[in-house]
Structure 1
Amino acid sequence: MEQGAHLLTKGALAEALKVAETSRVEALALKEKAKELEKEASRAAEASRVEVQRLKERAEASLVEAQRWEEKAGGLEKEVSRVAEASVAVQAVLDAEIGEHNALQSATRTACEALERALAVIASHYAGVDLEAISDGYVLAEDDKEADKEVTKLLEAAEGPGTALAKLFEEEVIPPTPPADAEDPEP
């Protein structure tokens, strides 16, 4: 029986050795697998760190670009403001020029009306006068100096009667200016 117990113990020991060897082999395999996973995790962590760094650099570059665009926008706002101010100034000058043009145009019309009335007065005093010939201008000497003298004499001679005639036409041709305190008439 001893021999049987010994054989039994020997068999159990052999079986235990087999299980221990299998466990050891599995443990070594798991240890290798853990090393591979650790290396893979390390590579993934390094790749992630590199990607995070790249993204961080891109974010910083984007921030710098955004600041640059913000500065440009500020400069453009100033330029738009300057152009708007210049536009207002140009509009004011244009309005003044239009006012001057309108005043000149009105004065020209007034002068033309006065001239037409003066020709009408001449025609009423001298039946058969050739108004076409008068509209051609002065009848003067060929010599420029003589012509200038003659024009000066004619203007001096016409000054008094011209002023009187202008006063006569003044109310007809030039509308009276309203007093400064007068209000605009309602439409």
Structure 2
Amino acid sequence: MEQGAHQLTKGTLDEALKAAEASRTEVVVWRGKAEELEGEASRAAEASRVEVQRLKEKAEASWVEAQRWKEKAEDESQLEAKVTRAAEASVAVQAVLETEIGEHDALKSAARTAYEALEVKGVQSGSSLESRLIALSGQRALAVIASHYIGVDLVAISDGYVLPDDDGEADKAVMKLMEAAKDPSMVLAKLFEEEVVPPTPSADAGDPEA
């Protein structure tokens, strides 16, 4: 009887060992499957990460391209605005230039009329209008100097400035003299204005020879 019980116990143990071995084998199999699934999941995650990075880079490239086109459009808009402003400035400059030309022509015509009415002694009749104007201006200025300083050597004054030998110092001296003479020369010019450009006779004025 004891022998039967011993055999029963041994059989039970054998079955238990077989069941344990089967379980261990199944665990190994499932572990292998789990590792395989984990590997596939890892590869899928890596592929997804790479794809996401690629899409991100593509999106950044698209943003950079859009930004470049935006800047180009802004540059073109600014260029168009600059061209418009330049064209407007050109029109304004042209208008000013035409005005200046008109004033210059009017002044030249008035000066020519004045010189035709005046007899400038010591100046050849064939001299240009500019030469006659310069000669008259010099003549008037020297006459004023002579009236203030009796016995002054006008010939020496007509030789021009008395300046230092150094060119740089001479230029500075001339600029200083010109600045000092600026305001007084305007007053003197105003004084001679009616002599240089006689007033236009009134339409109601009678004929002096009448």
Same fold (TM over 0.5): no
**TM-score, normalised by the number of residues in structure 2:** 0.40
Q: TM-score, normalised by structure 1?
A: 0.44
